[in-house]
Amino acid sequence: MATLTDDSAFGADDRLTTADGKPLKAALARAEARAKRRAFFLVLPLFLFVLITFIVPIGQMLHRSVHNSGFTLHTDIGSKVQTPIMVNLRDWFDNNPRGTEPDEAAFEALAADLVVLREVKAAGQAGTRINYELSGTRSMFTKAARKAPKLEAPFAAAILDLDEDWADPELWAAMRDASSAYTMNFYLAAVDLTRDTDGFVAQVDEKRRLYKQLFVRTLLLSLLITGLTFVLAYPIAHMLATLPLRYSNLLMILVLLPFWTSLLVRTTSWMVLLQSQGVVNDALVGTGVLADDSRIQMMYNQTGTIIAMTHILLPFMVLPLYSVMRTINPSYVRAAKSLGATSWTAFRRIYFPLTVPGIGAGALLVFILAVGYYITPALVGGADGQLISNLIAFHMQKSLNWSLAAALAGLLLGGILILYWLYDRLIGIDNLKLG
C-alpha cells in the first residue's frame, strides 16, 4: 500500500511520500503499528492467562507475606461488611512511643476495642494474629471479649483481674506490632528471627529454630539430587545419542515410560520396594545378607527422599542432555583423535564443552523442580526428609498461617531468582538448550 510514485520519490522537498501524498515514514509507522496491534491481539489471550493465573496470584501471595489485617480489620464472612477493629488501641500506640508502660488510658482503649471484638465476633481472629507473635495469648482475647460488656472503670484493674498476663510487656509489644497491617515480622519468623519487647530483632529460642535449617537442607538435598541425576543421566544420554536410531528409540521409551507414569504411583512403588518390610529388605533377609532384626531403614527418612526424587527427576536431566548430544557432530571427536588427542582429552576438550548447554538446562530444570518439590518428601520423607515446601504446605493447610507460608514461599522464590541470576552470570542463560 505504501507504493512510491516516481515524482514523489524525488520531490522538491526531498521527502518520500506515498501515493496519497502522506509522508512515507508516517505511513510505514502506521502500517507497522497495525501489524503490531494485530500481533498483540493474538498474544492477548496468553498474556491475560499468564497475568490472571500466574502474576496476580504470586503478587497476592507476596502481598500477604507483608500484610496481615487480623488485628486491624474484620470482614464478616456472610455479609462482607468490613469493620475496623482495635482502633482505640491503635490511637494509643500512635500517641505513646514504644516502651511506654500501658496506663489506665491504654486499658480503657483495650476495653472499648474488646467490646467491638465481641460485637463483630472478631476476638478469635484478633487473638490468632497476636498468637502468631506470642503463643498462648489467643484465649486471653476470646475470654476477655466474652466478658467485655461487663468491664467497668478502672479498666486496668478490671482487665488484669481477668488475667494478669494482660500486663505482660511482650504482649503489648506484640499488639503494637500487629496494630499496623503491614509488617515484616512474617519474614523474620521465616528465618527464625523475632522481635523482642524493645522492637529489636533477635533469634528465636533454640528449640524452635526450624526454617533456616530447612532452607539449608532443601538447598543441599536439591544440589545432591541434581548431581546424582547428572551422574546417572550423562552416560544414558550419551548412549541414546550415539546408538543407531532404531535401538535408541526403544531405549528412549524406557526413559519416557516412568516419565509418563503418575508421580504418586512412582512414589508409592518406591515405598513398596524400600520400606523395612518391603521387597528389597525381604530379598536381603531371604538371601541371608541381613539378619531379620537389622533391616535397613531406607524409607521415611532422607535416604527415601533422595532415592525417590532422583528417580522421578531423572528424565528432566536425560532429555535436554540427549537433545544436545544428538546434534554434536561425531567428526569433531574423530578429528581431535586424528590430531593425536587421547580419548580422555578428546572428551574433556571437545565433547564435554559441547554438552554444557544441555547440562545447564538439565541441571537448572532438576534443581528448580527439586527445590519446590512437595509430594514425594511428604510421602517418603518421614521426619528428617522434609523440605521447606512441606512446611509451606503445613502452614497453608494445617496451621493456616497463610502470611508465614507466603513469607516462606517468597524467600524460596527470591532464592531461586538469585540462583538464576548467578547462573546467568556464570554460564549465560542464552547458552541454555532445552530441546
Partner 1 sequence: MKLKTALLATALGGVAFGATAAEVTVMSWGGAYTKSQVEAYHKPFTAETGIAVNSVDSDNPATPIKAQVEAGNVTVDVADVEFSDAVRLCDEGLLEEIDQSMLPAAPDGTPASEDFIEGALQDCAVANIVWSTVFAYNKDNNPTAPDSIDDFFNTADFPGKRGLRKSAKATLEMALMGDGVPADEVYDLLETDEGVDRAFAKLDTIKDDIVWWEAGAQPPQLLADGEVVMSTAYNGRIFNAAIAENQPLEVVWDGQILDFDLFVVPKGAPNKEAAMQFISFSTDTQRLADQASWISYGPARKSSGAMVGKYSDGKTDMAPHMPTAEANLSNALVNNFEFWVDRDAELNERFNAWLAQ
345, 351, 352, 356: CA torsion to nearest 10: 160
In the complex with partner 1, the residue whose CB is nearer, 299 or 361, is: 299
- Find the binder of partner 1 among 82, 100, 242, 399 (CB under 8 A): 399
Residue linked to cell 554460564: 427
Taking the complex as a whole, the smallest distance from the CB of residue 380 to partner 1 amounts, in Å, to: 12
Taking the complex as a whole, the smallest distance from the CB of residue 122 to partner 1 amounts, in Å, to: 7
> What per-residue string of b and e applies to 409-422 under the rule 16 or more CB within 10 Å gives b?
bbbbeeeeeebeee
d(CA 431, CA 362): 12
Q: Is 391 in the site for partner 1 (CB under 8 A)?
A: yes
d(CA 209, CA 255): 41
Binding span for partner 1 by CB under 8 A among 24-32, 115-123, 283-291, 303-311: 115-123
In the complex with partner 1, the residue whose CB is nearer, 212 or 349, is: 212
Q: Is 128 in the site for partner 1 (CB under 8 A)?
A: yes
State which of positions 12-41 bind partner 1 (CB under 8 A): none
Alpha-carbon distances, residue 366 vs 229, 265, 361, 419 (angstroms): 8, 20, 9, 13
Cβ 190 vs Cβ 411: under 8 Å = yes
Binding span for partner 1 by CB under 8 A among 33-41, 206-214, 334-342, 352-360: 206-214
Q: Is 77 in the site for partner 1 (CB under 8 A)?
A: yes
Taking the complex as a whole, the smallest distance from the CB of residue 114 to partner 1 amounts, in Å, to: 14
Which residues does residue 83 pair with via DSSP β-bridges, in sequence order? Answer: 74
Q: Is 165 in the site for partner 1 (CB under 8 A)?
A: no
State which of positions 264-293 bind partner 1 (CB under 8 A): 275-277
d(CA 251, CA 253): 5
Cβ 405 vs Cβ 211: under 8 Å = no
Q: Is 63 in the site for partner 1 (CB under 8 A)?
A: no
Q: Is 132 in the site for partner 1 (CB under 8 A)?
A: yes
- Find the binder of partner 1 among 12, 339, 383, 426 (CB under 8 A): 383
Q: Is 208 in the site for partner 1 (CB under 8 A)?
A: yes
State which of positions 302-361 bind partner 1 (CB under 8 A): none
In the complex with partner 1, the residue whose CB is nearer, 108 or 177, is: 177
In the complex with partner 1, the residue whose CB is nearer, 68 or 229, is: 68
Helix (H/G/I), strand (E/B), else coil: 84: strand
Residue in 253, 377, 255 with CA at minimum distance from that of residue 316:
255
Longest Cα–Cα distance in the chain: 103
- Find the binder of partner 1 among 5, 53, 60, 139 (CB under 8 A): 139
Distance of CA 253 to the CA centre of its chain: 32
Q: Is 142 in the site for partner 1 (CB under 8 A)?
A: yes
d(CA 263, CA 297): 22
Q: Which set of grid coordinates corresponds to residue 120?
A: 463483630
Binding span for partner 1 by CB under 8 A among 51-59, 89-97, 133-141, 157-165: 133-141
Cβ 316 vs Cβ 229: under 8 Å = yes
- Find the binder of partner 1 among 86, 109, 110, 122 (CB under 8 A): 122
**E strand or H helix at 195, and its extent?**
strand 193-195
Q: Which set of grid coordinates corresponds to residue 430?
A: 542464552
In the complex with partner 1, the residue whose CB is nearer, 325 or 387, is: 387
Binding span for partner 1 by CB under 8 A among 33-41, 255-263, 355-363, 392-400: 392-400
Interacting residues with partner 1 (CB under 8 A): 76-78, 121-125, 127-128, 131-132, 135-139, 142, 207-210, 213-214, 217, 275-277, 300, 382-384, 386, 391, 394, 396-402
